[in-house]
Amino acid sequence: MSNDAPIGMFDSGIGGLTIAKALLERLPRESLRYVGDTAHMPYGDKSPERLKEYATGIAQRLLDQGCKALVVACNSASSNAMAEVRELAGPEVPVIDVVHPVVEWAAKHHPGGELGLIGTRATVQSGLYDQLLLARGIRVESLATPLLASAIEEGFHNGTISHAVVEAYFADGWAAGKDALVLACTHYPLVMEDIRAQLPRGMAVLDAPSIVSHHVESVLRERGLLASGNSPTRRFEVTDWTQSFADGAAHILGQPVELVEVAWPEAK
């Protein structure tokens, strides 16, 4: 495996680009292959069986392209399909999900605390965060906010929409009394200001893009896989090209992105 092989990353849509952006800022020498599975977006309301099928299908595609590591940049897939993706990748290719790094960070910075967590229905119903945090002595109260990811995708065109949805979900003072909030969906950092406005003053919000990109760096360093090259390449693929995805991607990455539509990879 060449150190200059790309990192493979995927999400159902543009949310994972928040992870991609943080990663490329931290590791500008890395090459990246990103797949947004827009044909099946959003993942948050799909069943575990379907999520396993989609995640392994995309992972196989990225492995076939010679990726040296995989980042599952979606909480719904990370909560429901990691065993299958890890089995596919085998021992040589590290697979990083977005749940475990955040859990370890919380265990270190909020020991014995009580967290709030918002995420998609697929993520919340999996119970994975609860189980991992409880095992580390941290209580967590989870709230499914299934419309929020779609509202954020829509928010690039109509800012009042994501604002209204955040307000509706937090309307009953749900966050009061908690030590920190976990944004258990890679879309949510995109409306950080709307979310902060609904939280008690001073409440911490865990910064998943930063935490996860730091973890990816650690894993690559441990394995001796950090890129050495000076001409990294980036490729962004979607399974269904739409203008609204292109607009959202440019907004997140801060520059126009060339998006390539690819045929849906056949599930194994």
> Where along the sequence are the contacts to a copy of itself (CB under 8 A)?
39-42, 45-47, 50, 121, 146-147, 150-151, 153-154, 157-158, 160-161, 163-165, 167-169, 171, 240-242, 244
When the beta carbons of 42 and 101 are compared against a copy of itself, the nearer one is 42
Q: Which helix (H) or strand (E) holds 168?
A: helix 159-169
When the beta carbons of 160 and 228 are compared against a copy of itself, the nearer one is 160
Q: Which string of b and e fits 158-181 if b means at least 16 CB within 10 Å?
A: eeebbbebbeebbeeebbeebbbb
Least spacing, CB of residue 258 vs a copy of itself, in Å:
17
Spatial separation of the C-alpha atoms in residues 210 and 262, rounded to whole Å: 29
Catalytic residue among 165, 185, 208, 253: 185
Least spacing, CB of residue 82 vs a copy of itself, in Å:
20
74 in active site: yes
Least spacing, CB of residue 221 vs a copy of itself, in Å:
39
Least spacing, CB of residue 81 vs a copy of itself, in Å:
14
Our CA angle for 154, 160, 166, nearest 5°, is: 80
185 in active site: yes
When the beta carbons of 8 and 15 are compared against a copy of itself, the nearer one is 15
Least spacing, CB of residue 263 vs a copy of itself, in Å:
11
Catalytic residue among 74, 238, 257, 259: 74
CB-hemisphere CA count at 13 Å for 41? 28
When the beta carbons of 45 and 217 are compared against a copy of itself, the nearer one is 45
Side chain identity at residue 136, one-letter code:
R
Beta-carbon contacts of 196 under 8 Å, excluding residues fewer than 6 positions away, are: 205
DSSP states along 88-155: HHTTTS-EEESSHHHHHHHHHHSTT-EEEEEE-HHHHHH-HHHHHHHTTT-EEEEEE-TTHHHHHHHH
Least spacing, CB of residue 122 vs a copy of itself, in Å:
9
Spatial separation of the C-alpha atoms in residues 3 and 6, rounded to whole Å: 8
Spatial separation of the C-alpha atoms in residues 119 and 127, rounded to whole Å: 11
Helix (H, G, I), strand (E, B) or coil at 242: coil
When the beta carbons of 25 and 167 are compared against a copy of itself, the nearer one is 167
When the beta carbons of 92 and 258 are compared against a copy of itself, the nearer one is 258
**Contact 228/29 with Cβ under 8 angstroms?**
yes
Tokens representing 89 are 């990748």
Q: Which residues are catalytic?
A: 74, 185
